[in-house]
Amino acid sequence: MDKEQFVTALRTSVAEFEKLRPPTSRDALDMSGADLSGCDLRGVQLREVTLQEVNFEGADLTGANLTHSKLQGARFKGAKLINVNMHETELEGADLRGAVLGGFDDASRMCLRACNFQGVRWGKEELEYFLGVLNKNEEWEIKYQVVPRAKGKRG
């Protein structure tokens, strides 16, 4: 089966995709560069799929499983990432600015590793969301200010 057949199935429906690649499949699947913008991907099982440079802009990934997926350079502007499992997901260089985040303080899962923030483009709202989740700690309060970097300076 080639990549385009999986992309076409996924653009049609999650059910069509899962007919081709059952949720329990661990076969290597590379869908790098696919355009999945605007797709209804609610509940999709993309565990261990290579999704580098995929366009997810405006897609609904509510309840999706992206565990162990490779999402380097993926774009998520306007995408719904609510109750998404992103355990051990590789996000280097991904653009999460403008993504709709939710559930990471409840059902969702994301490993907070340095590589999840290295080169990832987060918007102010997304950073404030994660800091708010961390601020649910009863013993410590994180006081912060999110400000843009001066042009040309990286820390």
The answer to whether the CB of 83 falls within 8 A of the CB of 104 is no
Tokens of 96: 């999460």
Give the residue-averaged pLDDT of 11-17: 95
Span 79-127, pLDDT tens digits = 999 999 988 888 888 998 899 888 766 656 666 666 666 667 777 887 8
Entry field: residues in the chain? 155
155 three-state secondary structure: coil
Instruction: Tell whether the model's pLDDT for residue 5 goes beyond 80.
Output: yes
Whole-angstrom Cα distance, residue 6 to residue 44?
Answer: 12
pLDDT greater at residue 61 or residue 24? 61
Which residue do the tokens 């709202």 mark? Answer: 125
Per domain, the residue ranges of the chain are 1-122
For the chain, state the CA radius of gyration.
16
3-class state of residue 45 by DSSP: strand
pLDDT digits over 30-45, tens only? 999 999 999 999 999 9
Give residue 113's pLDDT.
64
Asked whether the CA dihedral 120, 126, 128, 131 is positive or negative, the reply is negative
pLDDT at 69: 93
Task: Write down the mean pLDDT value for the chain.
Answer: 85
Q: What is the topology classification, in CATH, of domain 1-122?
A: Pectate Lyase C-like (2.160.20)
**pLDDT surpasses 70 at 59:** yes
Residue 50 has pLDDT above 90, yes or no: yes
Weakest mean pLDDT among 4-8, 118-122, 144-148? 118-122
Residue 48's pLDDT is what?
Answer: 92
CA atoms of 45 and 20, how far apart (whole Å): 12
Query: What's this model's pTM, rounded to 2 decimal places?
Result: 0.76
